[in-house]
Amino acid sequence: MTERIVRIGCGAGFWGDSPEGPRQLIESGGIDYLVLDYLAEVTMSILARARQRNPDLGYVTDLIQHVVAPYAARLKRDGIRVVVNAGGLNPEGCRRAIERELARLGIPLSVAAVTGDDLLPRFQALRESGVREMYTGEPLPRSVLSVNAYLGAWPIAAALAAGADIVVTGRCADSALVLGPLIHEFQWREDQHDLLAAGSLAGHVLECGPQCTGGFSTDWQVASESWENIGFPIAECRADGSFVVTKPEGTGGIVSTGTVAEQITYETGDPARYVLPDVVCDFSRVTVRNVGRDRVEVTGARGLPPTPTYKVSATWADGYRCMATLLVKGIDAGAKARAVADAILRRTTRILAREGHAGYSETSVELLGSEHTYGPHARATETREVMLKIGVRHESDQALAVFSREIYPAATATVQGIGGVFGGRPKVQPLVRLFSFLLPKERVTVALHMEGEPRPVANSAGTELPAPAAPPMPEPAFAKTHGGPAGRTVRVPLVRLALARSGDKGDTSNIAVLARRPEYLPFIWTQLTPAAVHAYMAHLMTGHVERFPWPGLNGMNFLLHGALGGGGVASLRYDPQGKGHAQMLLDFMLDIPKHLIDDGDALS
């Protein structure tokens, strides 16, 4: 009897991802399920403003335009079911919009919406109950844009069991979009924690689209010639929890142990305690292996019972921000750009005072192209062109309108060589911060909306997660048995020895470092310590560094707290999500025995 395999493809990793993803997977992926992951904290704040303007909005309209309208007939013909979090802040509105489009097309597909994550109507009660931010202990702000719980996979599974062809959710764990179909297809139970963790891992690998198929990888050269047709990922999932990552035949990019391992580490913390609504995952012993061209098998996920709480994220406006960029060219470009920035900030500060405004709450100047963000590690000392970025924050949008109008006059009032004056004045935007807290699951009412009355869906049970041991994980045996470099050594950058991937959660950046060969790992571990990473990245940080071993992937994961200037749209930095942090750390120099490096660091 042939083993049953469920093929799930991810056609979008964020709102605004290429429509090529769903087209590619529907037309040539041979998939059973199409998932699309549109939501992020920034997305929720954008949808909140849309809903304020029009109560019928608040969902991701791309789903209708790029998936339902062009492909509904193909979905029906091929039996492809769709699971998507496009509901945003209005899953029911999204469901009704899909049904209207299906009616227009004359295609009978059943649509379900999952609700219950939106807690904005209960905001005042939550505030009065003394809710505190889970990282800082601060009280809930007086007003918010959105408040949403991260729901799990069981409502999705219930919708599929009820016959839904398209399942629309609001905020849920990204990985739940894949775990829900697997629960339904394989009839996994709530107490099968290892299987739930494995299904969650499949979702985690797929959720960012082509980030696991050669996009965003350390060894970018391997796939760069075929990026124009990069393949979106497919997971071929088995009932035992193992799965193979692949992509549609004939598409670009690459699926390798390196691309998949990097994605496993993306936006994580302690790999042994990755907390999701339905299970606490232990990914520390997960392994990856090539099983064919563009085919990587993933095994080894373990699980613990889920916690009794949901993570809830609120977004709130903390004044306004404005960011401007100007190209500065010529001799001493860096020095000229600094002088221009100083002049603009002094000039506008003087005007603000004259017009009765306070000074800026925060300012940020970056000279892009001069390696300014590298701090003391910068090498570009005599560049002849830089992009000057100036960011400012203020409580008043009117005050920032002053800043906005005074940017381009600098082109005639300061130095020669200013260009890039396109697109009108820089925009003044709300500065949105994230507030996260935990809420008991019994205080969240989840419902399934299809035909007829809404059906309640039970929350998964949970138990308190035991406190981690100190240190969080035992120090690896290799760190005790291999002291450091012995014999003749050479000094090489980390990129010769390891892959690396960075991601973000709020104001925390994670950088995973995975040895290219197991023999390299002891030398990386003993030299790339938390103290060493903190010293190397200190110019970007206000907090501390944690390190967690990742033995299954021959690596480690660092958490850099306070490394993103507030993170997301709360940051004035040009890289508010730390996308380049791993690239910066890959220049870190280490000593390693010469005989190990002579024949060892092939691209993955």
Task: Dump pLDDT digits (tens) for 253-269.
Answer: 999 999 999 999 999 99
Give the pLDDT score at 102. 98
Q: Among positive and negative, which fits the CA dihedral 156, 162, 165, 168?
A: negative
Q: Say yes or no to pLDDT of 420 above 90.
A: no
Domain of residue 588, residue span: 477-597
Find the helix or strand (DSSP H, E) in which 488 lies. none
Question: For the segment 290-325, what is each residue's pLDDT rounded down to a tens digit?
Answer: 999 999 999 999 999 999 999 999 999 999 999 999
Q: Are residues 290 and 422 in the same domain?
A: no
Is 354's pLDDT higher than 50?
yes
> Which CATH number covers residue 357?
3.30.70
* Confidence category of residue 452, pLDDT binned at 50, 70, 90: confident
Tell if the pTM clears 0.85, that is, is over it.
yes
Per-residue DSSP letters for 367-425? EETTTGGGGGG----S-SEEEEEEEEEES-HHHHHHHHHTSTTHHHHS-TTEE---SSS
Q: Is the pLDDT of residue 599 over 80?
A: no
Q: Crossing angle, helix 397-405 and helix 333-354, to 10 degrees? A: 140
Dist. CA 501–CA 517, nearest whole Å: 17
- Last residue of a domain, which of 410, 433, 456? 433
Question: Does a structural domain hold residue 133?
Answer: no
- Centre a 10 Å sphere on the Cβ of residue 94 and count the other Cβ atoms it contains: 28
CB proximity list for 6: less than 8 A, separation 6 or greater? 32, 33, 181, 182, 185, 186, 236, 237
Stretch 506-510: mean pLDDT, rounded? 95
In this predicted structure, which of 151-160, 386-395, 485-494, 576-585 has the lowest mean pLDDT?
485-494
Q: Is 81 helix (H, G, I), strand (E, B) or coil?
A: strand
In the numeric block, the tokens 């925060």 are attached to 362
pLDDT at 2 over 80: no
Same domain as 490, residue 377:
no
- Reported as a single tens digit per residue, the pLDDT across 71-106 is 999 999 999 999 999 999 999 999 999 999 999 999
Quickly state the pLDDT bin for 464 (edges 50, 70, 90): confident
- What gap in Å lies between CA 569 and CA 369, rounded to an integer? 22
Confidence of residue 459 (pLDDT cuts 50, 70, 90): confident
Residue 251 has pLDDT above 70, yes or no: yes
Last residue of a domain, which of 255, 284, 306? 306
Alpha carbon separation from 482 to 169, 405, 476, 506 (Å, rounded): 50, 60, 10, 36
Mean pLDDT of 478-500: 79
* Cis peptide bond upstream of 271, omega within 30: no
Strand-pairing partners, residue 548, are 557
Q: Residues 297, 411: one domain?
A: no
- Distance, CA of 21 to CA of 62 (rounded, Å): 12
- Residue 602's pLDDT is what? 44
Whether 19 and 109 map to the same domain: the answer is yes
Segment 438-455 shows an average pLDDT of: 93
Note whether residue 470 is domain-resident: no
Q: How distant is the alpha carbon of residue 267 from its chain centre? A: 6
Q: Using pLDDT thresholds of 50, 70 and 90, give the confidence band for residue 604.
A: very low
pLDDT in tens, 8-33: 999 999 999 999 999 999 999 999 99
Report helix, strand or coil for 220. Answer: helix
How many independent structural domains does the chain possess? 3
Residue 144 resides in a domain: no
d(CA 125, CA 130): 9
Amino acid in position 586: L
List the beta bridge partners of residue 321: 393, 429
* Core vs surface per residue 298-310: b (16+ CB within 10 A) or e: bbbbbbbbbbbbb
Residue 423 falls in which region: left (phi positive, over 0), alpha (psi -120 to 50) or beta? left
Q: Kindly report the backbone phi and psi dihedral angles of residue 557, in degrees, each rounded to the nearest multiple of 5, phi listed first.
A: -130, 130
Residues belonging to the chain? 604
Same domain, 364 and 269: no
448 SS3 class: strand
In this prediction, residue 125 carries a pLDDT of 95
Contact in structure between 554 and 524 (CB atoms under 8 Å): no
Q: Of 406, 433, 460, which one is at a domain's C-terminal end?
A: 433
Q: What is the predicted pLDDT for the residue at 484?
A: 56
Do residues 293 and 406 both lie within one domain?
Answer: no
Co-location of 168 and 285 in the same domain: yes
pLDDT at residue 242 tops 70 = yes
Residue pLDDT, tens place only, 511-520: 999 999 999 9
**Domain annotation covers residue 471:** no
Predicted local confidence at residue 353, as pLDDT? 98
Q: Do 267 and 354 belong to one domain?
A: no
* Predicted pLDDT of residue 463: 82
Task: Please give the mean pLDDT across all residues of the chain.
Answer: 93
Is residue 551, in this structure, part of any structural domain at all? Answer: yes
Residues 256/257/258/264 CA torsion (nearest 10 deg): 110
In a domain, 449, yes or no: no
Token pair belonging to 249:
């035949």
**Average pLDDT, stretch 27-45?**
92
Q: What is the DSSP letter of 140?
A: P
- Kindly tell me if the per-residue pLDDT of 409 is higher than 90: yes
603: confidence class by pLDDT, cuts 50, 70, 90: very low
- Please tell me whether residues 261 and 221 are part of one structural domain: yes
pLDDT of 469 over the 80 cut: no
- 71 and 210, same domain (yes or no): yes
Residues 301 and 345 in one domain: no
Q: Can you give the C-alpha Rg of the chain in angstroms? A: 25
Residue 51 has which token pair? 């809903």
DSSP state of 163: T
CA contacts within 13 A on the Cβ side of 492 = 20
Mean pLDDT check: name the lowest of 176-180, 243-247, 450-454, 570-574: 450-454
Is 292 a domain residue?
Answer: yes
Q: Among positive and negative, which fits the CA dihedral 221, 224, 226, 232?
A: positive
Contact between 48 and 41 (Cβ < 8 Å): no
Q: Is residue 472 part of a domain?
A: no
- Are 261 and 338 contained in the same domain? no
Mean pLDDT of 364-392: 94
